[in-house]
Amino acid sequence: MFGFSRGFRLNLLCISTLWLTALHVMAAAPAEPVAVPEAQVVLPERSCASLAAMDLTAVGGAGSHVLTATLGTENGAPACVVEGRLAPSISFKAVLPTQTWTQRYLQVGCGGLCGRVELRAGAAHGCKPLTDGSFAMASTDMGHQGQDARFGDDPQKRVDFAYRAVHLTALASKQLIETFYGRAPRYAYFNGCSDGGREALMEAQRYPQDFNGIIAGAAALDFQVQNGIYHPWLARANTAADGTAIVLASQLPLIHREVLKQCDALDGATDGLIADPLACHLDLTPLACRPGQNADQCLSAAQLEAVRRFYAGPSDPASGRPLLVGSVLPGSELNWAGVFVPMAAGQPIFSEKIALEALRTVLYPHNPTAAFSLADLRFDQAGFDLLRPMHGLYDATNPDLSAFSGAGGKLILWHGWADPHISPMNTLAYHQALKATLGDARTKGFERLYLLPGVSHCGGGEGPGAIDLLTPLLAWVETRQAPGALLATGASDDAPGFGAPLGPPPGDRPREHGPEVNGPGPEHRPAGPAPRPGRLPGSGNAAPITASRLIQPYDANPSIAPWLGADFFQNPDRTTERR
């Protein structure tokens, strides 16, 4: 196997063997769409304009107030649109339907380092309450505006970004709702991806009473390591001594084809997707250039080594222990373009951009100078330990959700297996930490995890990524109907950019679709509660993957390979007081 430390290889091999031998797949009737629970429409009791006079001092402190309250149209429905400010500099926006509110509140997270109010909700493809104006909605910019490169110089703005802005927005929005309609929302939900997924988990961990149901997608929950190790490593791993890129996007289809050749059929269907990346043990030597071979059809020794570094991630030279819970996984290759593999020589990459923004702004107790570069980082125990002081502030890895569970809260985690921005291993590690902390039975009572083959960061990619997790969450919270296997269909444009950070990768990424597996119409695939699917029963290479073959989830608790931040997923270290 390429590039992994010996201990990491053995752990992954044991996990894969254990899971694949313990899994079994059962035939079942096609999944029926989850019905939206019935809810009574409530009309406003006062005018929209009157909300402009509301005092929010009790929520956010002196200087907190409503800026504007005007009638408009949101999600195709008439609404009162409220914009406000919570001290010292948290901007938020709330949308209160005037004719269609069904006593539900939905708050939406943002991506990257935020800096703008984002009201698009993803992972809700076809969710009727979202499209017909049934929700009162709100979101926040997390306490700073635009790409404010120095907001981390202000300790209060750090806390606001870490968790305070989301919590105060929930309080302020609920106050606005109660004032406008004459009653508080009956149910409150949060939906976020990327940093929005981190925000979602922060709410469950720090403020378990704020929301009845939470969706956390591709969560940047291990924020410190994500931005201080993962992205810097990927950027450095693809940089030669002279500063040029080693691997370019034009070479990614070549790598991806070899990955599919070796691992596509492991789940029983050759469909262009790697449904079980942890079972894929790649041998990259077939890609090595042979004498006289066209350089466009192979990889040089330097390029092969760079690709091995991508998959393996960094390890401490002294102990051999990985610095990451996991790196990019097989099947994600086409999604590397623009993230840490430039589209063309000389073009910028996202991994360097986001890493430098975070390293210079928020990751360390005291910000370095603007001249700080990725060359200043050490990928060893000492470099890792420099990120520990702010772990208790930014990271959302506390697995003790007993208060959230005790309050009746429900949590849905989801992640695309082909995500290049945040390794799915982070979400899997958190899922396992929940079960280790609270026990299998209790965790199953309030949490579900969905891992989507071929899906990139918060959507996109080669796999079917249009999925509705919001409707099942409503049913779970409001009627106690726990979600089971769901159907993911083709690419969705319901919420383009949902969870995406500012500054998307430049250019168009290379596309390479697998063979059609379902005939005419959108591709679709069952998504079972995780962690992983088994081999699809009775399927040949071209057998369709349909909802009639649902996956029996595996409920054991295999361990994640030891790594330097394993303690982050245990009892929390809250070193910073709430403010």
Query: For residue range 554-565, what is the model confidence (pLDDT) as tens digits?
Result: 334 445 778 999
> Does 364 lie in the same domain as 254?
yes
Pairing between strand 77-86 and 65-74?
antiparallel
Does residue 431 sit in the same domain as residue 325?
Answer: no
pLDDT, position 39 = 87
Q: Are residues 200 and 277 in the same domain?
A: no
CA angle 433, 436, 440 (to 5 degrees): 110
If asked whether residues 261 and 291 sit together in one domain, one would say yes
DSSP lists the bridge partners of residue 77 as 74
Q: Same structural domain for residues 84 and 211?
A: yes
Q: Which domain holds residue 293?
A: 6-29+225-392
- Asked whether residue 210 falls in the same domain as residue 246, the answer is no
Q: For residue 294, is it within any domain?
A: yes
Mean pLDDT, consecutive 10-residue stretches, the chain (579 aa), reads 36 35 29 75 97 96 97 89 97 97 97 90 91 95 84 94 98 98 98 97 98 98 98 97 96 97 87 88 96 91 98 96 96 97 94 94 93 94 97 97 98 96 95 93 95 92 91 96 86 57 50 37 56 43 39 45 91 48
User: Is the residue at 64 inside a domain?
Assistant: yes
Q: Is residue 527 part of a domain?
A: no
Please confirm whether the linkage preceding 544 is cis (ω < 30° from 0): no
> So what's the pLDDT on residue 529?
65
pTM of the model: 0.89
pLDDT tens, position by position, 367-383: 999 899 999 999 999 99
Among 353, 373, 392, where does a domain finish? Answer: 392
Q: Are residues 477 and 376 in the same domain?
A: no
Instruction: Output b/e per residue, 51-81; b: 16+ Cβ within 10 A.
Output: bbebebeebbeeebbbeebeeeebbebebbb
- Write b or e for each residue in 25-48: b if 16 or more Cβ atoms lie within 10 A of its Cβ, otherwise e: beeeeebeebebbebeebebeeeb
Q: Are residues 210 and 95 in the same domain?
A: yes
At 446 the pLDDT is: 98
Q: What is the pLDDT of residue 525?
A: 65
Asked whether residue 246 is domain-assigned, the answer is: yes
Domain membership flag for residue 77: yes
Domain C-terminal end among 376, 392, 408: 392
Question: Does some domain include residue 53?
Answer: yes
User: 59 with 177, same domain?
Assistant: yes
Which of these three, 358, 392, 426, is where a domain ends?
392
3-class secondary structure, 349? coil
DSSP assignment of 9-38: HHHHHHHHHHHHHH--B---PPPPPPPPPP
Rounded Cα distance, 90 and 466, in Å: 32
Q: Are residues 195 and 241 in the same domain?
A: no
What are the angstrom distances between the C-alpha of 496 and each of 123, 466, 470?
11, 11, 17
Q: Are residues 82 and 59 in the same domain?
A: yes
Within a domain: residue 491? Answer: yes
Q: Over the stretch 401-429, which tens digit does the pLDDT of each residue have?
A: 999 999 999 999 999 999 999 999 999 99
203-220 burial string, b = 16+ CB within 10 Å, else e?
A: bbbbbbebbbbbbbbbbb
In a domain, 416, yes or no: yes
- Please give the tally of structural domains in the chain: 2
The pLDDT assigned to 465 comes to 87
State the CATH number of the domain containing residue 98: 3.40.50.1820
pLDDT at position 2 is 39
Judgement on whether residues 206 and 230 belong to the same structural domain of the protein = no
